[in-house]
Amino acid sequence: MSENNKNNNFRKNRFNNKRNDHHGKWMSNNKNKGNIREHSFNERNDDARRARFMRKARGDVITAYKATALDHSIIEAIKAYNELEKVRNIVYERLEEWYSAYFPNVKMGNHETYARIITSVKNKEIDETVLKGIVGDDISHITNGINSSQGFSEIDEEEYKTLKKLAEEELSIIKLQEILEKFLEVQTKKLIPNIVYLIDYKIAAEMLSMAGSIEHLAVMPASTIQLLGAEKALFKHMKFGSRPPKYGYLFKLPELANMDKKEKGRMARVYATKISIAARADFYTKRFIADTLKEQINSIMKRKPHTQKNNHNEDTFSQD
């Protein structure tokens, strides 16, 4: 091969190599750009899907909350009421211990009246007009208790201010409980009118709180409703073999309070059955059938109970 041909082949090969290198770089650059564009497109799609998912989840949460908002408010209100009841009893106990050191003969069963007396009576100089505004016209038992008390010396000003402030806190708790009672009375009649017609609204609210929602209460069998509020006694029975409970919150019903022990268990079953029916009506059909259920309960209460041979199960009650 001649020298010229060799040179020409060399130039041609170098040109082809450069062209291939240029083409390869161009292909590589375009491929990288394509990957970047595809990655950005996928990121945008992921963001869009995430945004759609979050909107749907937020909408589902709002819908679910709206469906159970009234249940939730009633449950929180009855829990707040019961917790305030515990606090009120503790404060009253402390007030009585403190004030009785000076006036041991002043005895009042009513928490509000006792707290109001503390805010008005510092020593044995009694303002009868103020006392009549607290307890009514008959104030003799209060004045006699104050005058006959042989407690410590008179309360000094600084101590009385503290004691009076504690009594005012007791009165404020009582006022707050009254607000919660009004709220519960109104809201329970909206959500569970059939149940409230059969039993006290506070007992109905406690049952709703223990169930978690009106939906859960509506699907509960009557036997479970009967024992709502007696969980500790039930677990004790299951674990240690003690006597089983026959009623929970239903024990608070005034209709059961004055009954014989054997009758309480029977009527608790009757009430639980009717409450179960009322709960289904409140949740599913929204029909008011409580008047019919109440008539049935009254009819059963008038019947004479059947004598039972085995009465070894006496009523026991335990409430959380």
Give the per-residue pLDDT at 250.
87
The encoded tokens of residue 230 equal 């007696």
How high is the pLDDT of residue 316? 38
Which architecture, in CATH terms, is 192-320? Answer: Orthogonal Bundle (1.10)
pLDDT of the residue at 68: 62
Range with the lowest mean pLDDT among 33-47, 136-150, 246-260, 291-305? 33-47
* pLDDT at residue 229, as a whole number: 84
Check pLDDT > 50 for residue 172.
Answer: yes
3-state secondary structure the chain: CCHHHHHHHHHHHHHHHHHHHHHHHHHHHHHHHHHHHHHHHHHHHHHHHHHHHHHHHHHHHHHHHHHHHHHHHHHHHHHHHHHHHHHHHHHHHHHHHHHCCCCCCCCCCCHHHHHHHHHHCCCCCCCHHHHHHHHCCCCHHHHHHHHHCCCCCCCCHHHHHHHHHHHHHHHHHHHHHHHHHHHHHHHHHHHCHHHHHHCCHHHHHHHHHHHCCHHHHHHCCHHHHHCCCCHHHHHHHHHHCCCCCCCCHHHHCHHHHCCCHHHHHHHHHHHHHHHHHHHHHHHHHCCCCHHHHHHHHHHHHHCCCCCCCCCCCCCCCCCC
Average the pLDDT over each of 126-140, 168-182, 252-266 and give the range with the smallest value: 126-140
pLDDT beyond 80 at 319: no
Contact between 151 and 102 under an 8 Å Cβ cutoff? The reply is: yes
| Residue 320 pLDDT | 38
* Contact criterion met (CB below 8 Å) for 131 and 139: yes
pLDDT confidence of residue 308: 43
| Position 311 confidence tier, pLDDT thresholds 50, 70, 90 | very low
Burial-class residue 181 by CB neighbours within 10 Å (0-12, 13-18, 19+): middle
**Residue written as tokens 């022990």?**
261
Mean pLDDT rounded to a whole number for the chain: 78
**Stated pTM of the model:** 0.70
Paired tokens of 9 = 């082949």
Return the structure tokens found at 142: 């209060």
Find the length of the chain. Answer: 320
Residue for token pair 């009375």 = 185
The rounded distance, in Å, linking the Cα atoms of 307 and 260 is 13
Q: Has residue 64 got a pLDDT over 60?
A: no
Averaged over 205-232, what is the pLDDT? 90
77-118 pLDDT tens trace = 999 999 999 999 999 999 989 988 888 777 777 888 889 888
What is the pLDDT, as a whole number, of residue 318? 41
Confidence label for 26 from pLDDT (cuts 50, 70 and 90): very low
Lowest mean pLDDT among 246-250, 271-275, 298-302: 246-250
Radius of gyration of the chain from its Cα atoms, rounded to whole angstroms: 38
